[in-house]
Amino acid sequence: MTYCVGIRLNAGMVFVSDSRTNAGLDQIGTFRKMIVYERPGDRFIAMLSAGNLSVSQSIRELLQVESLPSEAGGEPLTIWNATSMFDVARLLGATVRRVQIDDGPALQKAGVEFNASMILGGQIRGEAMRMFLVYAAGNFIEATRETCYFQIGESKYGKPVLDRLIVPTTTLAAAAKGALVSMDSTMKANLSVGLPLDLLVYRDGSLANSELVCIDEQNPYFQMIRSTWGQRLREVFDGMDDPRWDDGETMHPLRTASTRYESLRKIANPTDRIV
């Protein structure tokens, strides 16, 4: 299992991925799930992957050399000459389908599901930043102001944190912090997600990889995140009122009159016959 997050903001983009893979309790490995393709000053492209490791590794390597025929009959389309991130997403989708054609039948015969999903984000000179979520069928959706982040892998534990924190105007520093809190929440709940982590922060218009770090168990900032987040959650929890049943003695009563909802309750009458 894995967990990856991509966030698209007004100021830039934030990517974070774990590196744990497992095929059983005694077969745990470490594999990087983030890769950056870049030509400084011209294009910056980051891809995060989840799913079957052999499938995602094949897709990652083939994307560097894969091409699509040009609609105008000119030079074939590659990630190195594409003029838009939409074309890069199309190329990634075609690469996914190619791997499925090549490897899918053999995987199916072996009882292995063709399973891969990717977050693709970046910027090409002359175009705004864009981010896509690419599925195993090669189709994709794009991040918007209403949905400005994507998750792949074991997403459910870290989603509530992002839902409460991330909006397009969030700063890159705050988004990076929130992504690490989301990752820590996931690691706390699921042992199939683990260190080291790759964290990448991209600033709009830079067209270069400027802030990339690998985070292991000795990283002082992540150690602070892990201890502080749990401590502050307990402090907030302890600071909240305990439930009070008497609605006359508290500002936040638990039980109040309702004309719409009624508890499902059956009280026996003294005359009810017991057999």
Q: Does residue 240 sit within a domain?
A: no
Q: Does residue 34 sit within a domain?
A: yes
Confidence of residue 71 (pLDDT cuts 50, 70, 90): confident
Structural domain for 65, as ranges: 3-217
More confident residue, 48 or 251: 48
Identify whether the C-beta of residue 49 lies closer than 8 Å to the C-beta of residue 117. yes
Identify whether the C-beta of residue 166 lies closer than 8 Å to the C-beta of residue 155. no
DSSP notation for the chain? --EEEEEE-SSEEEEEE--EEESSTT-EEE---EEEEEETTTEEEEEEEEE-HHHHHHHHHHTTT--B--TTSSSPB-TTT-SSHHHHHHHHHHHHHHHHHHHHHHHHHTT----EEEEEEEEETTS--EEEEE-TTS-EEE--SSS-EEEEES-TTTHHHHHHH--TT--HHHHHHHHHHHHHHHHHH-TTS-S-EEEEEEETT--S--EEEEE-TT-HHHHHHHHHHHHHHHHHHHHSPPP-S-TTS-SS-S----SS---------TTPPP-
Closest CA to 194 of 203, 184, 181: 184
Confidence of residue 246 (pLDDT cuts 50, 70, 90): low
pLDDT at 234 over 70: yes
Q: Does residue 19 sit within a domain?
A: yes
What pLDDT does residue 253 have? Answer: 81
pLDDT digits (tens, 9 = 90+) for 117-174: 999 999 999 999 999 999 999 999 999 999 999 999 999 999 999 999 999 999 999 9
Q: Is residue 249 packed enough to be buried (19+ CB in 10 Å), middle (13-18) or exposed (0-12)?
A: exposed
Residue at token pair 């996931």: 186
What pLDDT does residue 250 have? Answer: 74
Confidence of residue 255 (pLDDT cuts 50, 70, 90): confident
Q: Is residue 88 packed enough to be buried (19+ CB in 10 Å), middle (13-18) or exposed (0-12)?
A: buried
- Strand order of the sheet with strand 34-39? 34-39, 43-51, 116-124, 130-134, 140-142
Residue 93: count other Cβ atoms within 10 Å of its Cβ.
20
Confidence of residue 275 (pLDDT cuts 50, 70, 90): low
Phi/psi of residue 227, nearest 5 degrees: -75, -40
Confidence of residue 176 (pLDDT cuts 50, 70, 90): very high
Q: Does residue 10 sit within a domain?
A: yes
Q: Does residue 108 sit within a domain?
A: yes
Q: Does residue 93 sit within a domain?
A: yes
What pLDDT does residue 273 have? Answer: 64
pLDDT at 48 over 70: yes
Confidence of residue 254 (pLDDT cuts 50, 70, 90): confident
What pLDDT does residue 74 have? Answer: 84
Q: How far apart are CA 97 and CA 19, in angstroms?
A: 25
Q: Does residue 138 sit within a domain?
A: yes
Q: CATH number for the domain including 89?
A: 3.60.20.10
Give me the helix-helix angle, 172-189 and 220-239, nearest 10°: 80
What pLDDT does residue 248 have? Answer: 67
Q: Does residue 255 sit within a domain?
A: no
Total structural domains in the chain?
1
